[in-house]
Chains A and B, each alone.
Chain A
Amino acid sequence: MSGKSKPGPPQGFIGTALTDLEVAWRERIEEAEVLETAGFHSTAAALRLYALEILVKVVICKHLGLSLLPVVCKKHELVNLIIHTGLWKELQVDPPTRLLANWDILANYSESRLNDLRYEPREKLTEADATRIKEALHGSEQHPDDGVVAWLSKHI
Chain B
Amino acid sequence: MAVKTYMKPTLAIVAREIAAFMNERGLEREEFSLVGSWQERTGRISLLLGTTRNVDWFDWYQNIIGRLRSSFAEVGTPEAAWNIGLVVLTRTQDELYSSFRLTDGEEDVTDFLESTIGHTWDQLKASPTATAAPG
Contacts and interface: CB of A to CB of B under 8 A. Distances in A.
Given A104-B86, A112-B102, A96 B46 contact: no
Interface string B78-118: 00001101110010000000011111000000000000000
A22 to B, nearest CB: 27
Interface stretch (B7-15, B17-25, B60-68, B119-127): B60-68
Contacts of A100: 65
B42 A113 contact: no
Contacts of A96: 61-62, 65-66, 69
Nearest to A96: B65
Contacts of B102: 112
A112 B86 contact: no
Given A96-B65, A101-B58, A107-B85, A112 B101 contact: yes
Interface SS, B side: mixed
Interface of B: 37, 42, 44, 46, 48, 57-58, 61-62, 65-66, 69, 82-83, 85-87, 90, 99-103
Interface string A72-91: 00000101100000000000
B42 A77 contact: yes
Contacts of B48: 108
Q: Which 6 A-B pairs have the closest CB atoms?
A: A96-B65, A112-B101, A104-B85, A101-B61, A108-B87, A96-B62
Interface residues of A, number: 21
A116 to B, nearest CB: 6
Contacts of B44: 79
Nearest to B105: A77
Contacts of A104: 61, 85-87
A12 interface: no
B66 A79 contact: no
Nearest to A80: B42
Given A111-B103, A112-B103, A115-B103, A101 B46 contact: no
B101 to A, nearest CB: 4
A26 interface: no
B61 to A, nearest CB: 5
Nearest to A98: B58
Nearest to A116: B101
Interface in A110-156: 111-113, 115-116, 128-129
Which of A101, A115, A128 is most buried by chain B, counting CB atoms within 10 A of its CB? A101
Given A104-B86, A105-B87, A94 B61 contact: no
Contact of B46 (A92, A94, A98, A112): A112
A65 interface: no
Contacts of A115: 103
Interface in A10-65: none
